[in-house]
Amino acid sequence: AQRVTQPEKLLSVFKGAPVELKCNYSYSGSPELFWYVQYSRQRLQLLLRHISRESIKGFTADLNKGETSFHLKKPFAQEEDSAMYYCALKGGTSYGKLTFGQGTILTVHP
């Protein structure tokens, strides 16, 4: 069975501080991991995926297979980063089937 765990339901930081949203997964095969974000009054949208190795809005995430983690990091948080963040795992061949974590609400204070 595949599982995604986001241990922090709430995370608060001040503007300019570093932020790390934790994500751990359980999957026996070769995983593909994603971070999805939902800003206030907006729909759920893709932030980044590990296979792209990209930085989006200053966020990066590295897949660590040894620790089965995919933590999301940003060195200097901005107020507009406040949102709900979901870590998601694709197991198998279908991109439509994702296993989501419970989500972390990030609040960046001015």
Work out which of 21, 37, 86, 108 binds other proteins, going by CB under 8 A.
Answer: 86
Q: Which is nearer to other proteins, 27 or 36 (CB)?
A: 36
Q: Which of residues 50-79 bind other proteins (CB under 8 A)?
A: 51
DSSP secondary structure string for all residues of 52-107? GT--BTTBEE--BTTTTB--EEESS--GGG-EEEEEEEE-SS-TT-EEE---EEEE
Work out which of 12, 14, 15, 46 binds other proteins, going by CB under 8 A.
Answer: 46
Shortest CB 99 distance to other proteins, Å: 7
Distance separating alpha carbons of residues 97 and 99, to the nearest angstrom: 7
